[in-house]
Structure 1
Amino acid sequence: MVLTYLILTGSLEAIAIVLALSPGNLSIAFPAHRSQDSDIKSDILIWQSPPNPAPDTASTGLGEGIYLYGQSSNPDEIKQEYFVFEMRQSKVVGAFYLPRSAFYCFYGTSDRTQLNLTVVDTYDGSRSPYSVNLEQYYPISTISENDRRILGICKESHKQQVWEK
């Protein structure tokens, strides 16, 4: 996630405080050429959260089966993204979800550590391309009944786009 902060105070003290609070995750973008009329108020600070240090378990590729991955290594944590999917012959169908929230079905293909997907909006049915690097998520071995229920809905809805091609 990238957050952009505009320093409104214009003081170097504000920059020093932000740097102290977030060392290593901050870069400062100053204009290449500054006119005499500009001041530090126009400078932009960009904060980047470090990526999840997920283990490299996907590098060997995935066999056929049902998989669950998440932003957390623990299932069903509130405000964490998860996705459950079934893999068959490098084709996938599944769903992205947040616990106790809506879910979005997807289908597509896999090539070792990457899922190349079409995500289907639950509300309006629109479709969008999306890629997932599995190395950025945690594999979770426990697949709940709710995960299987969500997966079943998506498999039924999109079996023609995936399995019957």
Structure 2
Amino acid sequence: MAGSLMLCAAATANQIPSANVLDAAASQSTAIADGVYLYGSAPEPETLGAAYMVFAAQDAQLVGAMFMPQSSFDCFQGYRDGNELALQITNSYTQEVYGYAIALVTDDLQVASTGNSDFVLALDGFYDLGTPGESELAILSTCQAHYSSVGTEL
């Protein structure tokens, strides 16, 4: 049930594409910087009913988890595909794998005001929550171990 809840919560992030969706040509030339990221459908961590994702980017590959506070989590692998993150999410209960995409967006105001056109990772329907906490890193570690133990790669 939590897997289906996660799908519903995550799906809201992609129902109405933003007018600022990156064009595919520009986004293909910019890789996601290696690092660990935390995003949420709410602007604050640990908001009940909100969906969150924590992931690590390394060499253009993503490994992470979608989760809701006080619930289970589903691991995913993915990569940047043009103007979106292309994810393969593994349902934690059934082990079924399904595809999901999250649109990337730009902050036109930031570019206009600073003149800085460097790529900043922004996900449609999600807030950048900065550095993950201990619990989010534990979830991420579990997913990284899962994918290394089953030997799956994109």
Question: Secondary structure of 1:105's match?
Answer: strand
Could you tell me how far 1:123 is from its partner in structure 2? 0.8
Which amino acid in structure 1 is aligned with residue 152 of structure 2? Q
Richer in helix (by share): 2
Question: Secondary structure of 1:149's match?
Answer: helix
Corresponding residue for residue 73 of structure 1? 43
Could you list the per-position Cα deviations for residues 144-165 of structure 1 after superposition, in whole angstroms to 9, with x for gaps in the alignment? 1010000000001013324xx7
Corresponding residue for residue 16 of structure 1? none
- Distance change in 2, residues 1:52/1:114 (3 Å): closer
Once residues 17 and 42 of structure 2 are traced to their aligned partners in structure 1, the CA distance between those partners, rounded to angstroms, is 9
What pairs up with 1:100-139 in 2 under 5 angstroms? Answer: 100-111=70-81, 113-133=83-103, 134-139=123-128
Q: Say whether residues 1:147 and 2:117 are aligned partners.
A: no
Question: Secondary structure of 1:63's match?
Answer: coil
Corresponding residue for residue 157 of structure 1? 146
4+ runs deviating over 3 angstroms: 50-53
Tell which structure's C-alpha radius of gyration is larger: 1
Could you tell me how far 1:124 is from its partner in structure 2? 1.4
What pairs up with 1:40-59 in 2 under 5 angstroms? Answer: none
Question: Secondary structure of 1:161's match?
Answer: coil
The percent identity for this pair of structures is 29
Higher relative contact order (CA 8 A, sep 6+): 2
Corresponding residue for residue 109 of structure 2? none
TM-score by length of 1: 0.60
> Is contact 1:85-1:151 (8 Å) kept?
yes
Corresponding residue for residue 43 of structure 1? none
Q: Say whether residues 1:88 and 2:67 are aligned partners.
A: no
- Root-mean-square deviation (CA, aligned residues, Å) is 2.5
Q: Which sections of structure 1, spanning at least 5 residues, go unmatched? A: 1-49
Could you tell me how far 1:62 is from its partner in structure 2? 2.6
Once residues 99 and 139 of structure 1 are traced to their aligned partners in structure 2, the CA distance between those partners, rounded to angstroms, is 17
Richer in strand (by share): 1
Alignment length (residue pairs): 111
Once residues 67 and 55 of structure 2 are traced to their aligned partners in structure 1, the CA distance between those partners, rounded to angstroms, is 11
- Distance change in 2, residues 1:156/1:84 (3 Å): same
Which amino acid in structure 2 is aligned with residue 148 of structure 1? L
Once residues 97 and 65 of structure 2 are traced to their aligned partners in structure 1, the CA distance between those partners, rounded to angstroms, is 13
Could you list the per-position Cα deviations for residues 87-139 of structure 1 after superposition, in whole angstroms to 9, with x for gaps in the alignment? 01211010000001010001021246521011101011111111112132111
